[in-house]
Chains A and B, each alone.
Chain A
Amino acid sequence: MTDEVKTAKKAAQFPPWLRKRVPARGEAAEVRRLLAELGLATVCSGAHCPNLPECYARGTATFLILGDSCTRRCRFCAIAKRPPGPLRPDEPEAVAEAAARLHLRHVVITSVTRDDLPDGGAAHFARTIRAVRKRLPAAVIEVLTPDFKGDTAAIDAVLDARPHIFNHNVETVPRLYPTVRPEADYRRSLAVLAHAKARATGAQGGAKKGAVPFSGFMEKGTVPFFPQGGAEKGTAPSSQRREEGTAPFSARAPRRIYTKSGLMVGLGETPGEVRSCLADLRAAGCDMLTLGQYLAPSPAHHPVARFVEPAEFAAWEAEARALGFAAVAAGPFVRSSYQAESVFASRED
């Protein structure tokens, strides 16, 4: 029987572009064994990512720290929503060990949201960044953080460990927050990115002190998470310099920190809403963008409203580049950290 006949036999549940081929060899099993041995979680598995077989077979994974259960109940996400346990003190070293044994050149670290912790887990993030840099001084380190409830001191603690890329996803357009990310706030997420950008830029050049390139978003009746001058509150202005001056591995710490964000499409947003979201991200100084198809982890999660065609993703990519994003990845299977190394390498700035 030919493939055509067999394909016609069954009505496909997914459009043809949402089809993946599983690598034939068993490299994925080796990655899984290593993660199990070190007791590490990944967002790949936690989120039921369809790219997992491909990424694991390539020997990459995105580490999920601060535990494997989350304090928020976002309706797009498959990660367990149980009360989280205590932090594992040896987790930073375990992540570094795994990254070293996988010979990663680009290490992506993300986490669950820990609203139960006073610093949201920021210090643990910073420890993990430092542990990875110590083991792999040449690796590019990318963090994908929660919003830390907009706590600038927490964001600064992460930035002071000098990741190359600070990623925080807005995930969707503001209108859909109540149903998709009920405990998050669109403007707060933008403000997190804007603050990270201002802080990273300020630390590099010394300019823009106190200037959050985002004050426009603090109007319109939203909670002023970062009021004028708020970027300086709760920060330790000299810690940046201290880190660069005294840390034993400071030579490899990046001079510039890129900011990155992403959103899912197919949740019911309109093209106009996506367009203004991209503009908002640029206004927040966001350097890099990922745009991918939302896929429901189960029938109990937020339903897929629409499958966005590859041509539409291509159009979004062109539009985003025209808006000034230095790097853009857009496509049905694009995820925040999917092929993060080549996305970073593709940047034009």
Chain B
Amino acid sequence: MVTQQGGHATLRERGRKGKPHMAVMDVPLPELGEDAGDEARVSFWYVDVGETVGEGDDLVQMLTDKATFDVPSPVAGKLVEQLAGEEQAVKVGQALCRIQVGG
């Protein structure tokens, strides 16, 4: 199962490849109450591509059938890619964006 911790694993993996300061981490959509495999919709991004973000800062707002969720960044760094645009559905565990760790 891919989870937030899965994101950290990706980070470690990339770190082992010898570029720890340039590590890019995929941030997966965490479970928002629904089962893995279910979807949530991107409402809007708090952070644009190229902007820096602190660990725990809001990255993106998601909508499920039941509520609005602010998803924080699991790591400090620079947002290098948004993998889903506004209104787009993302599955739990699927990558939402990529962050260059440490900015």
Q: Which residues of A contact B (CB under 8 A)?
A: 1, 3, 6-7, 9-10, 12-14, 18-26, 28-29, 32-33, 36, 44-45, 48-53, 56, 295-299, 333
Contact = CB atoms under 8 A, between A and B. Distances in A.
A295 B66 CA distance: 5
B25 to A, nearest CB: 13
Interface in B16-45: 30-35, 38, 43-45
Given A10-B44, A24-B73, A50-B32, A297 B65 contact: yes
24 contacts: A3-B46, A6-B46, A14-B68, A19-B70, A20-B32, A20-B68, A22-B30, A22-B69, A22-B71, A23-B72, A24-B56, A26-B8, A26-B74, A29-B3, A29-B4, A29-B6, A45-B33, A45-B34, A48-B38, A52-B33, A53-B31, A296-B66, A297-B66, A299-B65
Contact of A52 (B31, B65, B68): B31
A53 B30 contact: yes
Nearest to A2: B46
Nearest to A50: B67
Nearest to B72: A24
Nearest to B7: A26
Contacts of B3: 26, 28-29, 32
Contact of B69 (A20, A24, A296): A20
A33 B38 CA distance: 18
Contact of B5 (A19, A26, A48): A26
Nearest to A5: B44
B40 to A, nearest CB: 10
B72 A44 contact: no
Nearest to A12: B68
A333 B68 CA distance: 12
Nearest to A30: B5
Contact of B4 (A7, A26, A333): A26
Contacts of B43: 10, 12-13
B70 A22 contact: yes
Contacts of A3: 46
B63 to A, nearest CB: 6
Contacts of A296: 65-66
Given A48-B33, A296-B66, A24 B46 contact: no
B33 A50 contact: yes
B103 to A, nearest CB: 17
A315 B70 CA distance: 28
Nearest to B65: A298
B13 interface: no
Contacts of A28: 3-4, 30-31
A21 B33 CA distance: 12
Nearest to B51: A1
Contacts of B38: 48
Which of B1, B43, B48, B68: most chain A Cβ within 10 A? B68
Contacts of B86: 10
Contacts of A26: 3-5, 8, 74
A243 B74 CA distance: 50
B58 to A, nearest CB: 8
Contact of B74 (A20, A24, A44, A48): A24
Contacts of A19: 67-70
B51 to A, nearest CB: 9
B26 to A, nearest CB: 14
B45 to A, nearest CB: 8
Given A28-B30, A29-B5, A32-B3, A18 B68 contact: yes
B72 A22 contact: yes
B44 A6 contact: yes
Contacts of B81: none
Given A10-B43, A10-B44, A44 B65 contact: no
B64 interface: yes
Nearest to A28: B31
Given A296-B65, A298-B65, A48 B70 contact: no
B4 A50 contact: no
